[in-house]
Amino acid sequence: MLSDEEKKDCIDNIDTYSYDEIEAKLSVICVRNKVNFGLDKPEEKKEIFNLDSVKDEEYTLPAWVRRVQTVAKEKNI
C-alpha cells in the first residue's frame, strides 16, 4: 500500500522510533495518500431488468405489470 520511499524514514529509524511513532507516521502517510483498506472487490456492474426490453416470447409479464404499462401509456407517463 505504501512505496519504499514513503516507508524509508521509518525503516531508517526503526531502532530510534517507538512502535507508536512508527504507527503514527505510517498512518498519516496512508491518510494523506487516501489508501483504501477495504477488502471488497471493486463493484461489478449489475444487469438492470428493464420491462421495455422484454419480448413476449422470452418472458410472460404478470397481469398487474401489463396493466401498469397500459395505464402509463394512457397517461403518457
Summary mean pLDDT of the chain? 81
pLDDT at position 10, please? 92
Residues 6+ apart with CB under 8 A from 52: none
Q: Find which of 1-5, 22-26, 55-59 is predicted with most confidence, using mean pLDDT.
A: 22-26
Confidence of residue 23 (pLDDT cuts 50, 70, 90): very high
What is the distance between the alpha carbons of residues 6 and 49, in angstroms, rounded to a whole number? Answer: 46
**Per-residue pLDDT tens for 38-69?**
766 666 777 776 776 666 555 677 888 888 88
